[in-house]
Amino acid sequence: MVILCLIVNDLSFCTLKISVMRKHQTKTYIVLTIATLFVIVSAVIGIKNVFFPKNSIDIKDVEIKLPTGNSSLKIGSPESTVIRVLGQPKQISSFSSQASYKQGTVLNYNGAKFYFVHDKLSDFEITSHTYKVSLGGLHKYMVIGTSRSELPHYKIQQNTALLDVKDADLTTNQYLEYDLSDSGKVTRIVYSDY
| Domain residue ranges of the chain, discontinuous segments joined by + | 2-51, 56-193
Greater confidence, 88 or 65? 88
Cα atoms in the 13 Å half-sphere on the side-chain side of 108: 6
pTM for this predicted structure: 0.67
The amino acid at 91: Q
pLDDT value, residue 90: 95
Identify the bridge partners of residue 126 per DSSP, sorted by sequence position: 112, 189
Angle at 151 between CA 148 and CA 152, to 5 degrees: 140
Convert the pLDDT of each residue in 13-25 to its tens digit. Answer: 444 444 545 555 7
Cα atoms in the 13 Å half-sphere on the side-chain side of 189: 26
pLDDT at 124 over 90: yes
Convert the pLDDT of each residue in 81-91 to its tens digit. Answer: 999 888 899 99
The amino acid at 87: G
**What letter does residue 154 receive in the DSSP assignment?**
B
Greater confidence, 124 or 151? 124
pLDDT at 144 over 50: yes
Q: Above pLDDT 90, what percent of the chain?
A: 24
List CB contacts of 70: < 8 A, sequence separation 6 or more.
none
Cβ contact 90:108 at 8 Å: yes
CA distance 194 to 187: 20
Sheet of strand 132-135, all strands in order from the earlier edge strand to the far edge: 72-74, 62-65, 132-135, 141-142
pLDDT at 4 over 50: no
